[in-house]
């Protein structure tokens, strides 16, 4: 029996998306008998696993795809895309982005899309890597001048007494008019197309089930909300599980191409990869 390891983060949006798979509400109908094993790790760890092709199916940051494109294909479903919102830049005091030139800025991991966006849109800063849930602490403790914040921090930075300087998702939207691709779900190439389709359809069905069984999926997802209240927990989950998560469509694919083109133009990636989508 084949074991399919599925990597995703222990975050409210991923928990919401994978609710039906986790609870065996739907079956993964692959071309051979199988069982699945969920691997819950932070996105930076999953990115590092993907560099070595460890998991058969995994969430990754969109920014890391150019480094793993030879090993993985992108599922049309499962993408986390911001619709005029995304990672935010915060500090203790209000100031312009240009005033951060040369300053120390906490970043949530060098393989994250937030880090790539900061290098595209921010002035030249001294990037200091922290776990994503420690970047705001670094600002309040005066270890850095500002931070790029992802996940629930996009909603809770005010609680920490911090000020938003900019939303990188808004800057992206103004620049491109496209949704912002932050996270992807990918399948390893060596599984073959039948497995790619089976895993993609299972995830798409899981997302649809979450939409239809919203209260149950939200209640489950709130366990992974890292202390935020239920209202903001549901808000965060639905920020990144939306219609484009069910199927990114043409807009999502164009957004990925644009992200890689901008990164290549800045010399931040070695090559612009082919955006190889498993259409469902």
Q: Which residue has the tokens 């895993």?
A: 199
Q: Provide the 8-state DSSP code for 161.
A: T
The separation between CA 81 and the C-alpha centre of its own chain, rounded to angstroms, equals 8
d(Cα 198, Cα 50) in Å, to the nearest integer?
Answer: 20
| 55 within 8 A of 5, measured Cβ to Cβ | yes
List the one residue out of 183, 176, 201 whose CA is nearest residue 239. 183
Picking from 12, 50, 63, the residue whose alpha carbon sits closest to that of residue 186 is 50
Q: Which residues contact 215 (CB under 8 A, 6 or more apart)?
A: none
DSSP secondary-structure letter at 147?
A: E
Q: Residue 215 and residue 212: Cα distance in Å, rounded?
A: 9
| CA nearest to 156, candidates 143, 172, 173, 140 | 140
**CA count, 13 A, side-chain hemisphere, 17:** 34
How far is 102 from 33, CA to CA, in rounded Å? 55
The catalytic site residues sit at 151
């Amino acid at each position: 029996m084949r074991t399919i390891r599925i990597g995703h983060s222990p975050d409210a949006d991923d928990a919401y998306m994978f609710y039906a798979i986790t609870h065996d509400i739907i079956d993964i109908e692959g071309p051979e008998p199988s069982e699945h094993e969920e691997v819950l790790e932070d996105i930076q760890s999953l990115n590092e696993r993907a560099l070595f092709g460890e998991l058969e199916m995994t969430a990754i940051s969109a920014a890391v795809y150019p480094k793993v494109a030879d090993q993985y294909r992108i599922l049309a479903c499962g993408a986390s895309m911001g619709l005029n919102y995304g990672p935010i830049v915060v500090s203790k005091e209000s100031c312009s982005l240009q005033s951060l030139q040369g300053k120390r800025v906490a970043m949530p991991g060098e393989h994250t899309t937030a880090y790539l966006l900061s290098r595209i849109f921010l002035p030249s800063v001294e990037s200091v890597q922290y776990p994503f849930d420690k970047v705001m602490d670094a600002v309040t403790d005066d270890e850095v001048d500002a931070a790029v914040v992802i996940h629930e921090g996009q909603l809770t930075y005010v609680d920490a007494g911090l000020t938003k300087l900019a939303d990188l998702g808004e800057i992206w939207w103004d620049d491109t008019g496209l949704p912002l691709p932050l996270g992807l779900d990918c399948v390893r190439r060596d599984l073959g197309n039948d497995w790619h389709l089976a895993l993609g359809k299972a995830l798409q069905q899981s997302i649809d089930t979450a939409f239809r069984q919203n209260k149950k999926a939200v209640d489950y997802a709130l366990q992974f909300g890292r202390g935020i209240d239920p209202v903001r927990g549901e808000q965060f989950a639905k920020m990144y599980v939306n219609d484009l998560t069910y199927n990114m469509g043409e807009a999502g694919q164009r957004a990925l191409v644009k992200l890689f083109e901008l990164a290549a133009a800045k010399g931040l990636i070695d090559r612009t990869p082919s955006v190889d989508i498993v259409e469902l």
